[in-house]
Structure 1
């Protein structure tokens, strides 16, 4: 594998709990988020997007509709995650038609934080909504395995900290205060990480696949190491050392769990990261190549095209030209 790194990876730095290693740098990068004061009747449609959706109901009424589950009522203090950003709708009641977003008074506080207010005749709903990207790229394979919607009430009993955190968010979202959106976004980081961990803990054990691999006491350590340091000079031998196994035993176990060899998985993961980084404004191809440990831009370009079927430059131009999603709608 044509990669290099100036610093050796130390197996002793990888903890035994691979899931904790993956969650260690969990962050939600707020593409946009805001506090909503909406008086009944109101309804907002959210189109499908490749970003995690987040909705917190400080005070209802509030209902959510998805194609998979139909209408579901959300109570005060409820938090819902839509990990894959599936299309859905929020409304003060299931029979509210249309989209009232255009009638809202929107106040921006700088960056991508805003407050939305809509006058009406009925009770006021107070919501904190967000459209977010995952800062911890190691979580992406896990997110793809999660259900389309996760509600805090369904797993709250499995984590005693979720209830108090939701209560704190309710108090913070109850009224607009200086720095409120920032504080809420930090709480969202912690809550989302805990909900993801609860979901993993409560999910039935799988015998194969990414979730089974990250739970494996040996392969999980190597998998977490690859995700946290993708530019390191990994070889099957060095990964086996992190896993605490012989080369042959590790290679066989990795392939049995994930259906592909470690080298192939690592290359595919690096190219996924490359596509993400190439879409970021101002990120040069040479910089991406260096971050992923390639000795030259040319060697990276060859590997990228071999894996994705397109050149890095073409992908960078395509992704950089896409319009940013405004308020996640």
Structure 2
């Protein structure tokens, strides 16, 4: 199993959204804090990304910037340009070109959008990301990401039959390619954390084993065997890189899987318990309530109500 894909799947809700924006002359936009994770791609021209804290980031053609925590930020032609409040929502429906009345060719052409993320239980892999991930365009680097950007730009330039479905798939691809590119860039510079964990052979093998079969009766020793290390060496290495002991992560992931099954399926509790490594429904319910503060049945009812509210909101936006 792919740990990065699982981490995204465990947090994603709803449909991602995106649109193209043309900018002419001097311009500046302030984006407020958002429940979503936003992104901007420079298709043409240059601009500056202005984090709520930190130094301005110069963006050129092909550059991608991703805000995983939904923090407010600005975009402008210059770090010194006053910022006007953004009108609209990056979490709204797919947008048409937000074109200026100016008929001249735009100075800057942007692809902007956002993903819905459930922040109630963020995967630690995403939790450690900085406020802004800047992936600069470099010749020969991350060709898959560049291809996804080109395809997205083309689909948003002219709507055709099937565009809505294609955009959803391309935006899912873009998110994974952005995170993959970031972790590849960071792997050589970080000795601890998830960038190092994903590129460490032993720890990544243990993580894949947990994600592949969370119901297996894993112990530190058997996970160490999967990683090719002794029990003690594996426990030290996993804890140092992942930031928590292996069995703590195993329990966390089992409960995350259980929550998703409760939200998205009608499986009886005994089946959910079996799929997440618990021999009895009682043991599972006790562990789940300890983790979430609510019994599995109550969590399922709340999740169905929330899903209904999200669906109603999505329909109202269309």
- Same structural fold, with TM-score higher than 0.5 when normalized by the shorter chain: yes
Match of 2:19 in 1: 35
1:147-198 deviation per Cα after TM superposition (whole angstroms, max 9, x unaligned): 2222332666643444454334333332222223433443344443333233
Mapping 1:49-60, distance limit 5 Å: 49=35, 51-58=36-43
- Counterpart of 1:198 (choices 171, 181, 189) is 181
For 1:283 and 1:270, locate their aligned partners in 2 and report how far apart those are by CA, in whole Å.
Answer: 18
CA contact (8 A) 1:30 1:131 kept: no
User: What displacement does 1:226 show?
Assistant: 1.0
CA separation of 1:145/1:283 partners in 2, compared to 1, >3 Å: closer, same or farther? farther
Match of 1:107 in 2: none
User: What displacement does 1:221 show?
Assistant: 0.5
Which stretches in structure 2 are left out of the alignment for 5+ residues?
none
- Counterpart of 2:3 (choices 19, 22, 27) is 22
Matched, 1:247 2:247: no
Match of 1:11 in 2: none
1:92-119 deviation per Cα after TM superposition (whole angstroms, max 9, x unaligned): 88535234329xxxxxxxxx85334556
For 1:148 and 1:285, locate their aligned partners in 2 and report how far apart those are by CA, in whole Å.
Answer: 40
CA contact (8 A) 1:44 1:101 kept: no
User: What displacement does 1:222 show?
Assistant: 0.6
Mapping 1:89-168, distance limit 5 Å: 89=74, 94-101=81-88, 114-116=94-96, 118=98, 120-122=100-102, 127-132=110-115, 140-153=123-136, 158-168=141-151
CA contact (8 A) 2:202 2:229 kept: yes
Higher mean alpha-carbon deviation, 74-83 vs 122-131, is at 122-131
For 2:57 and 2:191, locate their aligned partners in 1 and report how far apart those are by CA, in whole Å.
Answer: 33
- Count of aligned pairs: 295
CA contact (8 A) 1:155 1:195 kept: no
With structure 1 as the length reference, what TM-score do the two structures score?
0.68
For 1:96 and 1:215, locate their aligned partners in 2 and report how far apart those are by CA, in whole Å.
Answer: 40
User: What displacement does 1:273 show?
Assistant: 3.6
Mapping 1:1-329, distance limit 5 Å: 21-23=2-4, 31-36=15-20, 43=29, 45-49=31-35, 51-58=36-43, 64-69=49-54, 74-89=59-74, 94-101=81-88, 114-116=94-96, 118=98, 120-122=100-102, 127-132=110-115, 140-153=123-136, 158-203=141-186, 204-258=188-242, 260-278=244-262, 280=263, 286=269, 288-322=272-306, 323-324=309-310
CA contact (8 A) 2:184 2:195 kept: no
If asked which structure has higher relative contact order (CA below 8 Å, sep 6+), I would say 1
User: What displacement does 1:71 show?
Assistant: 5.9
CA contact (8 A) 1:236 1:247 kept: yes
CA separation of 1:151/1:200 partners in 2, compared to 1, >3 Å: closer, same or farther? same
CA contact (8 A) 2:18 2:114 kept: no
CA separation of 1:126/1:246 partners in 2, compared to 1, >3 Å: closer, same or farther? same
User: What displacement does 1:70 show?
Assistant: 6.7
CA separation of 1:38/1:219 partners in 2, compared to 1, >3 Å: closer, same or farther? closer
SS at match of 2:84: coil
SS at match of 1:195: helix
For 1:61 and 1:208, locate their aligned partners in 2 and report how far apart those are by CA, in whole Å.
Answer: 34
For 1:87 and 1:291, locate their aligned partners in 2 and report how far apart those are by CA, in whole Å.
Answer: 39
SS at match of 2:95: strand
For 1:176 and 1:147, locate their aligned partners in 2 and report how far apart those are by CA, in whole Å.
Answer: 34
For 1:284 and 1:90, locate their aligned partners in 2 and report how far apart those are by CA, in whole Å.
Answer: 46
CA contact (8 A) 2:23 2:100 kept: yes
User: What displacement does 1:67 show?
Assistant: 0.6
SS at match of 1:55: strand
